[in-house]
Structure 1
Amino acid sequence: MTQELVLDPTGATAGTADSTLSARTASLRGLTIGLLDNTKPNTTDLLHVIGDELQRSYGAAGSKLYTKDYFGTPASAELLEQIVGEVDVLITGVGDCGSCSAATVADGIQFERAGIPTVAITSDSFYPSGRAMAQVQGFPGFDFYAVHHPFASLTADEVRERAMTALPEVLRILGVES
């Protein structure tokens, strides 16, 4: 049997072996949705469409957009602390390259460990990078969603279509009854 060494392309140290999800809620009614943008093209639009739909159809109280400093590394400790203090659930993405997919999954895991139910969104071409990061972070079963690649070059209508396609999986991962 051969062994593979998986390296973390974000430069972060490996996480603990904590694979416990934060507490889920069956409803988003009255909750604040955090939207963590990794600065990749079209990410803000995708996150806004999802956040708006969660407000309109699922009763979320509102959404707050946050932006990471750099797509290829996890969110800073300061940003993590700020978001944890201000939102009830988080949607983060979009990983549409190797290091940004890994960082998006690392973000999802660190927010879960901080008690915030989180959906990380990568693109399907870089799903293996996200899966490898989950392994490195000690959370091999971490569930995340992958939009169809390519993503950065989409029109506004195509971004909206991808967001609406993602919505059932976002709800499933959050544990929300649809």
Structure 2
Amino acid sequence: MAAREALLDPTGMDERSADGTLAPRPTSLRGLTVGLLDNTKVNATPLLRGIADDLVDRFGAGDTRLYTKDYFGTPVKDELLRQIAAECDVVVTAVGDCGSCSAATVADGILFERAGIPAVSICSDSFAMSGAAMAQVQGFPGFEFITVEHPVASLDEKEIRQRAATVLPDVVRILGVGA
């Protein structure tokens, strides 16, 4: 009988990847620090900044901090994940507007949830299936993420602001705070 080969999980996940529990939700954003994780895709920063401005102005968030990933197509690196988790109370990550970046954006949200930080992931609607597939692979098939109308990269400032305003109610709902 041939010896069994050890199989490696190509997703890089381990036994923790079966945890589908959301991080505890805040009752309010008042005074909280909101982390914004930009995945380097065009218009990710303006979209995140538009959402952040409204979270501060309308919901009393105390501070926002922008972080940028090294590469859009892979999940956030452990060092940056730990830094954001130590410095922020909630996280919004964006923007998945292609297959690999949508999957990575959803993976980022799941990683923050597992680190105890409530998170919202934003992808474009054309790549919702990619995001849902990543949630399944990560062992969190019920992970809810937000979709915005595709495309995102080619939008002007006014259009990006409109997209941010459109998703704001879902951002607030997923974070668990009232309007």
Query: Scaled by the length of structure 1, what TM-score is found?
Result: 0.93
CA distance in 2, matches of 1:25, 1:177: 10
Q: Which amino acid aligns with 1:134?
A: A
User: Where in structure 2 are the equivalents of 1:27-42 lying within 5 Å?
Assistant: 27-42=28-43
Distance in 2, Cα, partners of 1:25 & 1:63: 16
Give the Cα separation in 1 of the matches to 2:80 and 2:146: 23
Matched residues in 1 for 2:116 and 2:50: separation?
24
2:96 is equivalent to residue 100 of structure 1: no
Aligned partner of 1:4 in structure 2 is none
* 2:153 is equivalent to residue 152 of structure 1: yes
- AA partner of residue 69 (structure 1): D
Question: Which whole-Å CA distance do the structure 1 matches of 2:108 and 2:150 have between them?
Answer: 20
Which residue of structure 1 aligns with residue 86 of structure 2?
85
Describe the SS at the equivalent of 1:142.
coil
**Residue in 1 aligned with 2:11?**
12
Q: Which residue of the partner structure matches residue 54 of structure 2?
A: 53
Rounded to whole Å, the distance in 1 between the matches of 2:39 and 2:61 is 22
Q: Give the Å deviation of 1:144.
A: 0.4
**Deviation of residue 13 (structure 1)?**
1.9
Cα offsets for 1:2-37 (capped at 9, x unmatched): xxxxxx9xx632452100000001210010000000
Task: Read off the aligned partner of 1:73 and give its amino acid letter.
Answer: T
Whole-angstrom distance in 2 between the partners of 1:54 and 1:150:
24
Report the counterpart of residue 5 of structure 1 in structure 2.
none
Determine helix, strand or coil for the equivalent of 1:81: helix
> Structure 1: which 4+ aligned runs deviate by more than 4 Å?
none
Output the TM-score relative to the length of structure 2: 0.92
Q: In the aligned structure 2, how far is the partner of 1:20 from the partner of 1:102?
A: 19
Gaps of 5+ in 1: 1-7
1:74 aligned onto 2:75: yes
1:99 partner letter? S
Q: Which residue number corresponds to residue 3 of structure 1?
A: none
Give the aligned partner of residue 65 of structure 2. 64
Q: Find the aligned partners of 2:27 and 2:149 in 1 and give their Cα distance.
A: 27
SS, match of residue 113 in structure 2: helix
The aligned amino acid for 1:13 is G
Q: Is the 8 A contact 1:101 1:130 kept in 2?
A: yes
The one-letter code of the counterpart of 1:34 is G
Secondary structure of the residue that 1:170 maps to in structure 2? helix
1:24 aligns with 2:25: yes
What value does the CA root-mean-square deviation take over the aligned residues? 1.1
Secondary structure in 2 matching 1:128: helix
Aligned pairs (5 A) from 1:108-119 = 108-119=109-120
C-alpha distance after superposition, 1:81-116 (max 9, x if no partner)? 100000000000100000000000000000000000
Q: Deviation per CA, 1:153-177, whole angstroms, max 9, x where unpaired?
A: 0010000000000000001100010
1:109-154 C-alpha deviation (Å, 9 max, x unpaired): 0000000000000000000000000000000000000000011000
